[in-house]
Amino acid sequence: MPYDERLESIREFAGTQSDFAQRALRHFVTTLEASTLPLTKARSAVAAALANQLRMPRSANKRMSDEEIREVLIKKWAQHEGKSTRLLRYLRDEACISCEQKRFSRLWQALAIELRN
Longest dimension (CA), the chain: 61
Instruction: Give the model's pLDDT for residue 15.
Output: 83
pLDDT tier at 60, thresholds 50, 70, 90: confident
Question: Rounded to whole angstroms, how far apart are CA atoms 5 and 19?
Answer: 12
The burial class, CB within 10 Å (0-12 / 13-18 / 19+), for 59 is exposed
pLDDT band at 90 (very low <50, low <70, confident <90, very high): very high
Per-residue pLDDT, 43? 96
pLDDT band at 58 (very low <50, low <70, confident <90, very high): low
Top pLDDT among 56 and 1 is at 1
What DSSP assignment string belongs to 49-86? HHHTPPPPPPP-PBP--HHHHHHHHHHHTTTTTT-HHH
Collapsing DSSP to helix, strand or coil, 97 comes out as strand
pLDDT tens column, 3-36: 999 998 888 898 877 889 999 999 999 999 998 9
C-beta neighbour count of 77 within 10 angstroms: 16
* The amino acid at 31: T
Predicted TM-score (pTM) above 0.75: no
